[in-house]
Structure 1
Amino acid sequence: MRNVTLHAFNWQYTDIINNLESIRDAGYGAVLIPPPLYSEPNGDQWWQRYQPKDYRVLLSHLGGKKELEQLIAACHGGTPQLQVYADLVINHMANEDRTDHFDFPGTAELERYKKHPDLYEENRLYGDLSEKLFSWFNFNDAGEIEGDEWSDRGAVQYQNLSGLPDLKDSDWVLQQQHNMVDALIEMGFDGFRIDAIKHITERMIDNLADDPKFKKRFWFGEVLTGSDHDEDTFLDPFLRETWMSAYDFPLFQTIREAFSFGGSLRTLAQPQHQDNSLPWNRAVTFVVNHDIPHNDGFRFWLLERQDEHLAHAYILGRDGGVPLIYSDHNESHHEQDYDRWLDLYKRPDITAMIEFHNAVEGQPMAILYENDVLLVFRRGDQGIVAINKSGSNQWADFNTWGLKNPGQYRDLIHRYEMTVSGDRFSLLIPPRTAQMWLAE
């Protein structure tokens, strides 16, 4: 089954539609689109999508409801079918400089609805657009999250994130969130990413997670963690309190440490046994996500470019989780990021890795060789993954039990071929290289 998900970060909906052939050819099984809820249509900055004005309207700089319907139809109608996931922002509303700061969509927007009734009716998701959606009493009033409060679960859930008006888990708010998701499912969305989910109360999550209709979709949350304390405070309770999947930040941090100077690839052999990764059926794995390059506080989490390549080979070669591949249009304003993730989704090394992932899906993983700089493992008898993070040639000598023997294998990344035979086999892995051998 194809389950690799393309995060089409800040793509216009028509861009996704126009590139569906190459997305399918690359082997993806799903596309995660940016938050579709109403945000400033003239706001081309990516962060605008994370500041919704109204749940009842699907309109942004990226397109409107009609384009979304066309996108879903094109994804579902082609072969193979692609799943479509929507990014949802339900913790907060937009931080706007206006006197009615806690009225949404606000007086000016309601006037805009009246002046352009056809436009907003065309993009209406549900509800009566002649009335406001939220007022001041629908928001928490506990101030900003500051200092040590970032490590306190209560403060993180009930206080404001960077000035953004923080929604209460009141009956009215929960009903509107339920209505919004119900309408999105009726449109055909197959799943949802919940942004900033560690800032949301269990009651707000359960309002969506406990609905039998909603459970049929794929749900995952962004529980951003960077330390053992964060995992204990935010991630572990999330995993206990809900069945939803989550970004595998523990594995990401293990990957970062493994590829750092002095780090060991041994930690990636069986990370789940050291509590360094999420359960295989709850994990959304990644090497980079949109927060890391765009927020200065997280940029130190970026891997060196070749390490990022090696790490992609690891998450697409290993068993477990739903791999998420980030691909943007050069939204980062940092010069050193230029073209780094532009069209990454169809870069030849990435498509080779996805081909390997799809071919060995469901095959058990077994370690063939490991040391601090070299990791080699097999996927059933169909595939071999070898990763050398060092600056010199490395040899791996391993037992061939469990592999095709004799067996012809092709490295999908470099298009080399080799024949595995005998009781033991020696494999050469050049410096700073990943190999993904698939049985022919």
Structure 2
Amino acid sequence: MKKFTIKLWAVLLLMLVSLQTFATDNEYGLKDNIQDGVILHCFDWTYEQIKEELPNIAAAGFSAVQTSPAHPREPVGAAWYMLYQPYDYKVGENGLGTKEGLTELCTEAHQYGVKIIVDVVANHTNGNLSYVASFWQDQSLYHDYQGGINYSNRWQVTHGRIGMWDLKTEDSRVQEKIKEYVAELKSCGVDGIRWDAAKHIGLPSEEDTFWQNVPDQTMYNYGEILDGTGGDDTVLFPEYQKYISITDNQYGNHFAASFNSGQVNESVGNFNQRKAATNKLVYWGESHDTYCNDGGESKYISQNNIDRAYAVVAGNNGATALYFSRPFETAKSSIKVGVKGSTHFKDREVAAVNHLHNICAGEPNYYVHENGVAAQCRKSGAVIVLGSGGNREVSVTNGDGKGNWVKAGTYTDQVSGNTFTVTASKISGKVGAKGIAVIYEGEPLPPTPPAPSNLPACATWQEGKTFCYFENSSSWAGPIDAWVWNSNGNMYASWPGSTEHISKVGTHNGKDVYLWSIDKGVFEPTRIIFNSNKKPQTDDLDFENGAYYNASSEKVEVVSQTTGVQLHPVAGESSAKAMIYNLQGQRVDANYHGVVVCNGRKYVQ
């Protein structure tokens, strides 16, 4: 009997280990615990748009996707902030999709090991109670304080209105309704909740039991706390973290600002210096608040500088990190529900950071900042970020320089492919053009496959020309000028440049597309700025022949060049016939009918 018991325990232990391995690992290396992984914020995307990108999301190393609020009414095309003024607390049809669509998204996401987080707005409803469901029109469900908020006064923070009616979250009627909403989301397959305006909802020590009673602790929960609680953070942060993880917005925001000015920040965190536990923090390079609101501090910071900030904060152990998919519009009222944002998350400098985060989960980190370089050193790898520029040789201290951090050896940078040498004391190599290098032990990132083009048909190769395209994705008022230069000087006499070589060639998603073009050999640009009579303007863009830029200073893609095809007749045939397409799937020669497959897409002529 004793031998049987021992054998049974051995079998059960083996089964448990196997189950744990299955739960935490998959072919993408994603983490079962969202806090251990990283989150992609598909802000205002529809459920269907997210579902279409799931293979890319998983391949890029994101363990979770965050959606916008799922409550009913606001349609496609509504201003984004209307979803943050709830009509009712139930899963309903809105500009993101239906309840069935959310359920299908969760089911599909789980096939890839990706979790789904839904944004829940529980602090307030609308600014006008005639625009909420009948249950929520009862004024006894709301705090009656109507004065302004002094953000150093904790009581006002938890009882005052932020432009909308402030729910009495300590009221059992409010708690029960929102708890039912969370249960409904869970029944759809939702894995986690992001609690909007969490600092405005009180704690048990303040006679509000919302956090104690409402969040489902079998789900992942994190709350938005911007800057601080308005009270004693050293006391209130730990109390919030009994129930939810919380955002440390200042840490990532400060890094974004530093990289934007070409500097390296020395910070090792912000909220964790006020007694918040790092393993219940959420970091970011930017968020929808910093990008979408009027005066948003990140909307005019380039994507690359945001990526550098994200690389540093996501290099930490314990904290998760959120990567924000930028809308293509920048004006607050122009950012709309149901409009898909940037897919830059697929780029190697982002994906490599995510894979490092996942591979090194549980390993401590040591932050190094020296000579204009930032590095997060782990046991199994490191992320190295330049304060400015790219294509630069670096040599930074390996953690404390005593052989306790990245293992000595030769590594390949997963972003550029450059070689890095690691000794007990130093990490040395060349950081590529993106300004971000990632080295780690483990399976390398697969080569990036060519993706179906997102370019419009009007963006074509210009033979014999030096050229690029600009999409006025933010609907700037015209005319559009170009300011062009290289190390020898400027092409045009004075700022803001000229419209002389710019012509409108078409539209894309309702936005005008412009071609800047000169004869080859006239001038060799290295930088270009597009602007609308001085302001607004793009960042200094690295000029690449054939590049397609947008108003968010992103290089969306490079127009492909068809180099030619040589035809050889099959034996017995008098001639060879072919249809030729470029990498955009655009027909180059249209003499013959037939079918061609390009990047997984079938084209019929």
* TM-score between both structures, scaled by the size of structure 2: 0.59
Tell me the alpha carbon deviations over residues 284-331 of structure 1, each in whole angstroms, 9 at most, x when there is no partner. 110110011111243268644432221122122232311111114424
1:318 to 288, 310, 316: 316
Distance 2:182 2:425 in 1: 56
Tell me the alpha carbon deviations over residues 138-195 of structure 1, each in whole angstroms, 9 at most, x when there is no partner. 222221525xx23322222212112x12112322212212222222223322110110
Higher helix share: 1
Distance 1:234 1:69 in 2: 40
Which residue identity is paired with 1:409?
Y
Give how far 1:87 is off. Answer: 0.4
SS state of the match for residue 385, structure 1?
Answer: strand
Give how far 1:371 is off. Answer: 2.1
Distance 1:68 1:274 in 2: 35
- 2:467 match: none
Change (3 A) 1:249 1:59: same
SS state of the match for residue 350, structure 1?
Answer: helix
Distance 2:435 2:136 in 1: 54
- 2:138 match: 135
Distance 1:56 1:184 in 2: 8
- 1:51 match: 85
Distance 1:377 1:383 in 2: 9
Distance 1:205 1:65 in 2: 34
Which residue identity is paired with 2:347?
R
1:330 to 318, 328, 331: 328
Q: Is 1:371 aligned to 2:373, yes or no?
A: no
Which residue identity is paired with 2:420?
M
Give how far 1:68 is off. Answer: 0.9
Q: Contact 1:412 / 1:435 at 8 angstroms: preserved in 2?
A: yes
- 1:174 match: 175
The structure 1 segments of at least 4 consecutive aligned residues displaced by more than 3 Å after TM superposition are 203-209, 234-238, 256-265, 270-274, 300-306, 390-395, 397-400, 402-406, 418-432
- 2:344 match: 344
SS state of the match for residue 279, structure 2?
Answer: coil
Distance 2:314 2:217 in 1: 26
Q: Contact 2:226 / 2:248 at 8 angstroms: preserved in 1?
A: no
- 2:61 match: 27
Superposition pairs for residues 249-264 of structure 1, below 5 Å?
249-256=249-256, 258-259=258-259, 261=261, 264=264
Which residue identity is paired with 1:179?
E
Superposition pairs for residues 208-227 of structure 1, below 5 Å?
209-211=211-213, 214-225=216-227
- 1:64 match: 98
Give how far 1:341 is off. Answer: 6.2
Distance 2:77 2:45 in 1: 14
2:126 to 61, 78, 94: 94
Give how far 1:359 is off. Answer: 2.2
Q: Contact 1:209 / 1:215 at 8 angstroms: preserved in 2?
A: no
Tell me the alpha carbon deviations over residues 331-355 of structure 1, each in whole angstroms, 9 at most, x when there is no partner. 43389x9x99611221232112212
Superposition pairs for residues 272-287 of structure 1, below 5 Å?
275=273, 278-287=276-285
Tell me the alpha carbon deviations over residues 57-78 of structure 1, each in whole angstroms, 9 at most, x when there is no partner. 42211111111111111122x1
- 2:359 match: 359
Task: Please tell me the root mean square deviation across aligned C-alpha atoms, in Å.
Answer: 3.4
The higher relative CO (CA closer than 8 Å, separation ≥ 6) is in 1
1:82 to 114, 133, 141: 114
- 2:152 match: 151
Change (3 A) 1:14 1:301: closer
Distance 2:435 2:156 in 1: 44
Give how far 1:11 is off. Answer: 0.5
Structure 1: gaps (5+ residues): 107-131
Distance 2:59 2:233 in 1: 35
Q: Which moved more, 1:413-422 or 1:22-31?
A: 413-422
Distance 2:195 2:407 in 1: 46
Distance 2:329 2:139 in 1: 34
Tell me the alpha carbon deviations over residues 257-279 of structure 1, each in whole angstroms, 9 at most, x when there is no partner. 643659553x23x4479817942
SS state of the match for residue 298, structure 1?
Answer: coil
- 1:436 match: 438
Change (3 A) 1:255 1:187: same
- 1:112 match: none
Mark the structure with the bigger radius of gyration.
2
Which residue identity is paired with 1:347?
D
- 1:160 match: 161
Which residue identity is paired with 2:216?
F
Tell me the alpha carbon deviations over residues 356-405 of structure 1, each in whole angstroms, 9 at most, x when there is no partner. 222222222235x532622334210x212222214595642544724676
Which residue identity is paired with 1:191?
G
Superposition pairs for residues 422-433 of structure 1, below 5 Å?
426-429=428-431, 433=435
How many residue pairs are counted as aligned between the two chains? 397
Distance 1:360 1:20 in 2: 23
Q: Contact 2:283 / 2:322 at 8 angstroms: preserved in 1?
A: yes
Give how far 1:38 is off. Answer: 1.7
Q: Contact 2:381 / 2:406 at 8 angstroms: preserved in 1?
A: no
- 1:125 match: none
2:289 to 278, 288, 291: 291
Which residue identity is paired with 1:196?
A
Q: Contact 2:393 / 2:431 at 8 angstroms: preserved in 1?
A: yes
Distance 1:410 1:181 in 2: 45
- 2:189 match: 188
Which residue identity is paired with 1:64?
T
Distance 1:18 1:429 in 2: 33
Distance 1:64 1:418 in 2: 49
SS state of the match for residue 320, structure 1?
Answer: coil
- 1:36 match: 70
Change (3 A) 1:189 1:209: farther
Q: Contact 2:63 / 2:115 at 8 angstroms: preserved in 1?
A: yes
Give how far 1:199 is off. Answer: 1.6
SS state of the match for residue 161, structure 1?
Answer: coil
Distance 1:334 1:133 in 2: 27
Structure 2: gaps (5+ residues): 1-29, 32-36, 443-605
SS state of the match for residue 310, structure 2?
Answer: helix
SS state of the match for residue 386, structure 1?
Answer: strand
Q: Contact 1:378 / 1:385 at 8 angstroms: preserved in 2?
A: yes
Give how far 1:40 is off. Answer: 2.5
Which residue identity is paired with 2:50?
I
SS state of the match for residue 375, structure 2?
Answer: strand
Change (3 A) 1:206 1:84: farther
* TM-score between both structures, scaled by the size of structure 1: 0.79
